[in-house]
Amino acid sequence: MMKQKNLKAYFEGYKEEFLQDLEELISIDSTRGESEPGFPVGRGPAQALEKALEIAKRFGLYTENWENCLGIVQLNDSCERKLDIFAHMDVVPAGEGWQVTEPFVMKLVDGCVYGRGTADDKGPALAAIYALRAIKEQGIALAENVRLFLGCDEESGCLDLKMYRAKTKPAEMAFSPDGEFPVVNIEKGSLKGALTAEFPEDKRLPRIVSVQCGSSINVIPSSAKAVIEGLTAEDLKNILNVVSEETNVDFSLEKLKGDFIGITADGEGGHASRPEQARNAATAMLQLLVRLPVAESLGFEKLQSLQEIFPHGDYYGKAAGIYMEDELSGKITVSLDILNYNGKTLTGEFDSRTPICANLENLKPIEDMAEEKGLQYEAEREEAHHVPEDTVLVKTLLKCYEAYTGFVGHCIAIGGGSYVHNMPYGVTFGCAMPGVDNRMHGPDEFADLDVLLTSGAMFASAILELCGERN
């Protein structure tokens, strides 16, 4: 078996090549696009998948492209396997607020690579490809096989997972480099829902004409825009200053044609599983709008109702009556991530990450509150995922982590969901180090280059430990 120092040296020797390959992957906008014949999740994800498979082929690895939705990378063409590794090539929308670089232009700064997908999940996926390369180039034959899956729809509808389940059986063990180190053995459940309302348009002045905010239900929005009619900049100035101080979100005004004024809220985006680390522009905008001296209307009443359920800074669902926590998985989180209003309809979409203790009964208060306020409620729920710490998979991964980092390994629970969420023996392993916020789903997403390379070495070591060498 390759020694730890040999693996580290191997990956260090390919640093420049790794950077070049990652730069090509990051340059592809692989946000989910419109479905069309031959491209079920759009052309961007398919292009990124093809590039990743091209890289793997260059190393002499076996690859298959399953309908531009899911790809596989293996050491050989064997169907039998003991271990599945899941990564993905699609990304969330670029969003606004990028400062270090453009979203799809990778930039290396102080040892960190910036760009959409560097951490989630193209960088980790490339590290896994290089791990298979390392094993192949060292001429090591595995006793049992490993297969790397490269998905194209992890951030949206998980059409790739449906294909996986239709075309193959799960391996005995699985891990995904789409979480955190040391090992994530608990992933919270989720409650993703929409609160909607329809009402007659009321043009009495002053009024709120429209609100637009958010692009993805699992991304906390960094900006929101509203159009107001019948108020002046002077009318709004003091309210904007007060709400900005309360929410830590900046507001700006723009004079539009006629008697219209545009309002922009600039906060800080982030991953919906960590709302406390962001400054939600949607909830800040709601807090501002309900303070405005506008004419009473059914539309304004519904905006007030939505704000009462999702007040700014309430990260744990207390106002909605669903606050809960347990010892293993921690607190529930709640974030309003999409907000649209046009004077006739209102839509607010939220993302909640729910602990192990969540159930239909203790989550029902948010539905009851919405209906009491005249808002239609629809939601989809997923149970939490838990793999015990004493399994061979978890113990092996922790051993590899300790060997390559020198830190004590332990299991953690996260709010984010991954490909392995519904796999009995699936955990996430990397690639964010403990205490590091890689700004996944937010502007200036980044990954530490040395961490990515060390991750590749850890993946190779874990594969060898779990699959064994053939005598």
- Residues 214-255 have pLDDT tens digits of 988 989 999 999 999 999 999 999 999 999 999 999 999 999
Domains of the chain listed by start with CATH number = 1-188+385-467 (3.40.630.10), 189-380 (3.30.70.360)
Catalytic residue among 154, 268, 367, 444: 154
Q: Is 326 a catalytic residue?
A: no
pLDDT confidence of residue 36: 96
Question: How far apart are the C-alpha atoms of 204 and 446, rounded to whole Å?
Answer: 48
Strands 207-213 and 62-66 turn out to be unpaired
Q: Tell me the Ramachandran region of residue 183: left when phi exceeds 0, alpha when psi lies from -120 to 50, beta otherwise.
A: beta
Secondary structure tally for the chain: helices H, strands E: 11, 26
pTM across the whole model: 0.78
pLDDT confidence of residue 28: 98
Q: Is 90 a catalytic residue?
A: yes
Residues of the chain with pLDDT under 70: 1-5
pLDDT confidence of residue 271: 87
Catalytic residue among 29, 90, 160, 444: 90
